[in-house]
Amino acid sequence: MAHALIFDSGVGGLSVAEEIRKLLPELRLSYVADDAFRPYGEKPEAALRARLPRLLTELSLMLDPDIIVIACNTASTTALSEIRAALDVPVIGVVPAIKPAAGLSRTKTIAVLGTPGTVRRKYVDDLIDKFASDCHVILQGSVNLVDEAERKLGGQPVSLEMVKGEIAPIFAGRRGMDVDAVVLACTHFPLLKDELKSCVNQTVFWIDSGEAIAKRVESVLADMVLTKRAKPPVIDTAFLIGPDASDMRKRAFAKFGFEKVVGLMP
């Protein structure tokens, strides 16, 4: 049985883990949330580039995965090549689903809703140039939605007023009425899809990368010769870097199949 390590700054990667589990139920999953350094979306690029290759190297040595999924758009658009260079296992990065959004949009007006860091990255500009040059693209960054997704999975009520306020600029501008596809360019945001949908009056495709990433994991694993066998116990485990998690938070991980939750010192 192969073993994948899924990494994010917090609970966002669970939206990716869910898709991977659906497609590859036999795959053993470990999850790491870098709670100590969240939110990534507000951190300087240099700080993320310094932290992530080192941290992922340590985690890879500790957990010995066959494949790593950086289930974080901010980390991937900032430091994917540095992380890959530091590791000798295949690394799959989650980046904004701009290509499918441009393909689905009839009005050729799309929005990219990510963290403030992601929507500023050159990586995203390059994706737009490559796959959405025929589209008008509205970039919207939000860190409050990251916090809101964290709160939701910690058992707190979501403020629809807040969600509405965070996405209002997408639909309020001159081209707002035309937006028919929104890229959920942060893995936390699919966890708020119902709330996002309920805050918008027009018909919109909400597009994330989860399913495509699951397919990518499947094809990379299919090409690998796996000699290692998972040693018991093979309980899917979540490792949380930082302060001890609340019981609600632990239950949220359990709902996504991570029955064991372990704290790691930063």
* Positions that interact with ligand DGL (CB under 6 A): 8-10, 12, 38-41, 72-74, 115, 118, 143, 146, 186-188
CA distance 193 to 175: 22
Tokens of 102: 């441009």
> Shortest approach of ligand DGL to residue 173 CB, angstroms?
23
Tokens of 206: 């909400």
Active-site hit among 48, 56, 67, 72:
72
Active-site hit among 186, 204, 213, 214:
186
Q: Is 135 a catalytic residue?
A: no
> Shortest approach of ligand DGL to residue 143 CB, angstroms?
6
- Determine whether 168 is exposed, middle or buried from the number of CB atoms within 10 Å of its CB (0-12, 13-18, 19+): middle
> Shortest approach of ligand DGL to residue 12 CB, angstroms?
3
Handedness of CA 78, 80, 85, 87 (dihedral sign): positive
DSSP state of 57: H
Q: Is 199 a catalytic residue?
A: no
The number of angstroms, rounded, from the C-alpha of 84 to the middle of its chain's C-alpha atoms is 17
Active site residues: 72, 186
